[in-house]
Amino acid sequence: MNDLTRQKRRDALVEHVLDVLDSDEIASAAGQPTIDEIAAAGRAIAARLTAGWTDAAQPAIVEDDATDIIDLAARRERRAMRIPGRHIDNWAAGTSGPVDRFADDEFGIVLTRKTVGDDTLLSITFTGHVARDGDVVRVRRAASDRHTQLLVLLYVDDQGMLTGQILTAALAATSDDLDITVSAAGELTADDCDAVTAAVRASHKQARNAWRRLAKAQSADSPIRTAVIEGFR
């Protein structure tokens, strides 16, 4: 049997098998194909069924998607993420300086940095389930010492949004990458006292009231309570 005959027989077998799949027809015993022909027909059917699939690109896309999902899950589990810095040339209308806004809908965060004179007003709002009322957001510049950090206490504002703000000279550049971590207020330790005092002093009225509520929930000998009180002096 020459190659042309084999090809014709193979094509006919493919059509026959496809017809059987459509009509439930049972082939007669006459003219049964050889094992090699059945194998070749199977490969040909598989080639037809997968003809529309992309070859190398599809696995890469799936792998990238899986990596993104794993990364998001890990960030949610750690309640931490990196906020990329921006280089901003245009100024927002009615403000004294540039405004940088970062939003991540999947993580559920909106972070705004607004230049106010020599300081930066940092505002953080959570829209998802990563943070809760009374949690503390630890903020530090990605390039700085890991022990140098700012604290932002979260509270529910008059609009029902979970938010927190701080006015600081430590984040004067909106181009800085920021590492943030959300933790329960109960995780604050004596090592955080200086940062707590600084946060109270750098907060506006609503944020200060949130710190006041936190202090009232502490025991009389709590170093965190003492640190909050020190911030009001």
pLDDT of residue 141: 83
* Buried-exposed string 188-203: b where 16+ CB fall within 10 A, e elsewhere: beeebbebbbbbbbbb
Give the residue with greater pLDDT, 10 vs 125: 125
Q: How far is CA 110 from CA 100, 104, 135, 192, in A?
A: 11, 7, 16, 25
Statement: the pTM of the whole predicted model exceeds 0.85? no
Strand pairing class (155-156; 162-168): antiparallel
Q: Is the pLDDT of residue 145 over 90?
A: no
Can you give the residue ranges of every domain in the chain?
3-49, 79-231
Identity (one letter) of the amino acid at 163? T
Give the residue with greater pLDDT, 76 vs 127: 127
> What's the pLDDT tens digit per position in 187-226?
999 999 999 999 999 999 999 999 999 999 999 999 999 9
Strand pairing class (109-116; 119-126): antiparallel
Give the residue with greater pLDDT, 126 vs 70: 126
Q: Place 29 in a pLDDT band, splitting at 50, 70 and 90.
A: very low
- Mean model confidence pLDDT for the chain: 75
Strands (E) across 90-161 are located at 99-104, 109-116, 119-126, 136-141, 150-153, 155-156
Give the residue with greater pLDDT, 61 vs 218: 218
- Round to whole Å and give the CA distance between 114 and 100: 6
pLDDT of residue 207: 94
% of the chain at pLDDT higher than 70: 58
- Round to whole Å and give the CA distance between 187 and 181: 12
> What's the pLDDT tens digit per position in 75-98?
455 578 888 877 554 455 455 567
pLDDT of residue 42: 60
How remote is the C-alpha of 27 from its chain's centroid? 56
Q: Place 117 in a pLDDT band, splitting at 50, 70 and 90.
A: confident
- Round to whole Å and give the CA distance between 150 and 196: 8
Q: Is the pLDDT of residue 106 over 70?
A: yes
Q: Is the pLDDT of residue 124 over 90?
A: yes
Give the residue with greater pLDDT, 56 vs 194: 194
